[in-house]
Amino acid sequence: MEQALAAVRSKKAFICDMDGVLYHGNRLLPGVVEFIEWLQKEDKRFVFLTNSSERSPRELQQKLARLGVEVDEAHFYTSALATAMFLAAQCPNGSVYAIGEAGLTKALYDVGFSMNDMNPDYVVVVESRTYNFERIERAVRLVNAGAKLIGTNSDLTGPTEEGIMPACRALMAPIELATGRAAYFVGKPNPLMMRQARKMLDCHSADTVIIGDRMDTDIVAGIESEIDTVLVLTGVTDRESLNTWPYKPRYVLEGVKDILA
């Protein structure tokens, strides 16, 4: 185990998930403060790459600050930003009907998109407190009328302080089933998201490691990007379910606290 931990600590660049790795809701997980202080002290390159699109990088930076961790805003990249960049490249100055929170709408506005509930180019769905049957009905009508269906991430569930909750792919399912259209998901493990993280870090894959709590997003994203993978058991995946997957992480830890053990 010590040899494995030494190999992780020797990496120059770290791609780190947030939900289930750094915190559950507003509860910071054990060892996170020390881990981030170590990243900064050792002058490691790092980016917090999250499939959550509820908050902007600035809001994520402020959330960590409230929890007692100071990190510059430039270290955050979300699936909302990745989705906005993808749509801007596909359809410059397009329009969208969005079921989502402020982090998504701000990212879309920033790339020149407008909100449109009549004849949008895209319907975009993400985890949202505003998700309801009326919005599902409208999304179905718009997709049937020709709007393309986009999801910010393919997570089925996500960890919270109260337990597991449905995430983007689960919320997308009623619209896909009602329209017969398959959504395109932009966040991890989509290579679009990983390429942006690598660009931010400007580091070779051999010197990089990805840390996450999900086999179906974080770990497979690392494997397909030829980056060493660290699964932490503080989120969605538990040790008993590891053998149900056709691939495995390079390292398995109880949490980020173990990295500095």
Query: Comparing C-alpha atoms, which of 89, 92, 56, 87 is closest to residue 73?
Result: 56
Residue 68 to residues 26, 65, 103, Cα–Cα distance (Å): 11, 5, 22
Report the Cα–Cα distance between both ends of the chain, in Å, rounded.
10
Catalytic pick from 17, 218, 228, 258?
17
Which position among 19, 155, 213, 228 bears the catalytic label? 19
Both tokens of residue 240?
A: 């008993």
| Cα–Cα nearest to 61, from 73, 53, 78, 52 | 73
User: 257 Cβ partners below 8 Å, 6+ apart?
Assistant: 29, 30, 31, 32, 34, 35
Of 48, 57, 59, give the one whose Cα is nearest residue 19: 48
What's the token pair of residue 44?
């490691």
Q: Of 198, 259, 203, 194, whose CA–CA distance to 44 is shortest?
A: 203
**Rounded Cα gap, residues 169 and 148, in angstroms:** 16
Based on the residue annotation, tell me whether 17 is a catalytic residue of this protein. Answer: yes
Nearest CA among 20, 79, 72 for reference residue 55: 79
Q: Catalytic positions, please?
A: 17, 19
